[in-house]
Structure 1
Amino acid sequence: MNLKDSELKELKQAKELLENPGLAAKITNYIGMPLEKGMELLPKDWNGKIVKLTHQAITKSADAALFTMKNNPGEKSSNIWHKATVAISGGAGGFFGFAGLALELPVSTTIMMRSIADIARSENHNLNDAETKLACVEVLALGGKSEKDDGTESGYYVTRALLTQQITMAAEHIATNGLGKEGAPALVKFFTTISSRFGIQVTEKAAAQAIPVIGAAAGASLNLLFIDHFQDMARGHFIVKKLEKRYNPEFIQEQYISISLN
């Protein structure tokens, strides 16, 4: 069994997107200083607040975004439009500084979730399918390449492995009850895990916005970095999942790991 040349090219593109430097590296490069400076300015109780804030943002955005998009598999995604709208929300959040994040995050997360679903649809995934809906939410847990990753184990597949069982159980629940029943144990566990990982990246963004020199214009730019990162993660993720449907997950994982990006 072998991939076609076009499929191998797609898989390499996916790996290039998924194994790119994480959001923290991109933000650090943009603001020109270590994120640690911003981390020191965050409130001491920020960790507890971010978990609650991201959980609310994700559950509300999933319901608002995933159930209002038309299911037209293969339709081209509108990446630029979503970037423009999330930049506007980021500008408003940046204008009000750190305090504006609580108001801005649910809006930007909903826009990003719609963009992620739009990309899934463009890669011929069925948005009416429970696993596709969960795969859209799963994208928010993808952080890009970490310094801890080695040549044999990608951060992408480590995250996938962490969520596999939770997604299976959550998909079974959604197929029967829908995504709105978030009180179900399977969904609570899934959304909590996603919120925890997404919260790390929201904290990095908040740390940058906490630095006094970051204003409204920079807030918009940070949101562009934010959505650009998750659009890349979504494109790579749904290319991989598309190929998994044609072949099988184990085979695609082997092919993915064997691809050299050097």
Structure 2
Amino acid sequence: MTTENNDLITGSLPEDALAELREAKKSLEHHGIADRLTEMIGAPITASLRLLPDVAEKALYAAVDKSLTVALDVALRTLGGDSVKSGKPRLLTHKLLAGLSGAAGGALGGATIAAELPVSTVLILRSVADIARSEGEDLSTVEARLACLQVFALDPGKESDIDDDTELGYFAVRAAMAKQIRDASQYVVKNGLADKTAPPLVRLIAMIGERFGVVVSEKIAAQAIPVIGAVGGALINSYFIDHYQDLARAHFTVRRLEREHGEALVREAYGSIA
């Protein structure tokens, strides 16, 4: 009997799988985009949707909703037909394109957000899809493609309307979104994507948007610092996509481990990691 089988029988993951899970949890629970931007800029990013003027907040919500709606369309219409099997060769390309998008954006106002954010969001989504394939996801399924979109809700920030908890863990977010993803998947399989205003799709976008909007507000706060400029805007956008690539790699590592070792065992091991 192999060591791996013995480990599984005693109710624990093999050491190599546990090491992967430990690294995944580090990305999923402890490094929000605000922390990364603070490290880069050298000043704390304390943005909140509540601190934005009403006009700016409405513009941000509209931009987030538009961006995620476009991303949903891209996810369901194009990701499954891509023949690329590994995301590694294209991650840098997506990062460079996102950087150019950030540089072109300049100082972010409401109109600039509306123009720049959908581009960045789709670039991130395609990068996430490449990572998903590299971790063995079958993107011919609607559920796997929606799991790519779900990455936009996984930033470990504390502000969210998904739940009353002050800090949501990774599995709590997945559990909170499970019904919306299931309903959206069933709707698309049955009805296609002709009506993107269908309630199951609108509810899914709204739930993801609550968390993604917080991250976007932090990105805007960083880019609004006067000394940032175009070069800083490009760098911030590169951080932005790099952050979601890290979340995607962790997310799809967890999903692969669940397929290999069972969901219950992986979740138990995840919860035991300090």
Range with bigger deviation, 48-57 or 170-179: 170-179
CA distance in 1, matches of 2:70, 2:159: 32
Partner of 1:25: 35
Q: Take 1:73 and 1:245, find their aligned partners in 2: how far apart are those partners?
A: 22
* C-alpha separation in 2, matches of 1:249 and 1:3: 11
Specify the structure having the higher radius of gyration (Cα): 2
Structure 1 alignment gaps of length 5 or more:
none
Which residue of structure 2 aligns with residue 9 of structure 1?
A: 19
CA-based RMSD: 2.5
Alignment of 1:220-235 (within 5 A): 220-235=234-249
Moved more, 28-37 or 239-248: 28-37
Deviations 1:161-220 (A, max 9, x none): 211111111111122223453222111101111111101100111112222222100000
Distance 2:50 2:273 in 1: 39
Q: TM-score under structure 1 normalisation? A: 0.87
Task: Measure, in 2, the Cα distance between the counterparts of 1:58 and 1:39.
Answer: 18
Change beyond 3 A, Cα 1:173–1:38: closer
Matched, 1:51 2:61: yes
| Superposed counterparts of 1:7-156, under 5 Å | 7-36=17-46, 42-69=52-79, 70-72=81-83, 74-77=85-88, 78-94=90-106, 96-98=107-109, 99-144=111-156, 146=158, 155-156=169-170
- 1:165 match: 179
- The percent identity for this pair of structures is 42
Aligned length: 255
Q: Is the Cα contact below 8 Å between 1:73 and 1:122 reproduced in 2?
A: no
Quote the Cα distance in structure 2 between the aligned partners of 1:185 and 1:90: 33
Q: Which sits farther off after the overlay, 174-183 or 102-111?
A: 174-183
Q: Distance in 2 between matches of 1:154 and 1:254?
A: 17
**Deviation readout 1:63-105 (Å, 9 max, x if unpaired):** 23553344458524321111111111111012x5434222111
Check conservation: 2:60, 2:113, Cα contact below 8 A.
Answer: no
Deviation digits for residues 221-244 of structure 1 (CA, Å, limit 9, x no counterpart): 110111111001100001111122
Change (3 A) 1:147 1:102: closer
- Counterpart of 1:174 (choices 177, 182, 188) is 188
1:9-64: CA deviations, max 9, x gaps? 22122112212321111112222223348989954322222222111111112323
Q: Which runs of 5+ in 2 are unaligned?
A: 1-7, 161-166
Closer/same/farther in 2, CA of residues 6 and 34 from structure 1, 3 Å limit: closer
In structure 1, C-alpha distance between the alignment counterparts of 2:169 and 2:68, rounded to whole Å? 22
Contact in 2 for aligned 1:71/1:126 (Cα 8 Å): no
CA distance in structure 2 between the partners assigned to 1:14 and 1:204 by the alignment: 23
* Structure 1 pair 87–128 and aligned structure 2 pair: CA distance change class (3 A): same
Tell me the residue number matched to 2:3: none
SS at match of 1:45: helix
Letter matched to residue 269 of structure 2:
Q
User: 2:74 corresponds to which letter in structure 1?
Assistant: A
Tell me by how many angstroms 1:257 deviates: 1.3
Task: Give the letter for the 1:210 counterpart.
Answer: A
Alpha-carbon distance in 2 for matches of 1:257, 1:113: 28
The answer as to whether partners of 1:86 and 1:223 remain within 8 angstroms in 2 is yes
* Alpha-carbon separation, structure 1, partners of 2:191 and 2:40: 43
Counterpart amino acid of residue 44 in structure 2: P
Is 1:217 matched with 2:231? Answer: yes
In the alignment, is the contact (CA less than 8 A) between 2:85 and 2:134 conserved in 1?
A: yes
Give the drift of 1:111: 0.3
Q: In 1, are the aligned partners of 2:187 and 2:200 still within 8 Å (CA)?
A: yes
Equivalents in 2 of 1:132, 1:180: separation in Å? 20
The answer to whether the aligner puts 1:240 opposite 2:254 as a matched pair is yes
The amino acid across from 1:158 in the alignment is A
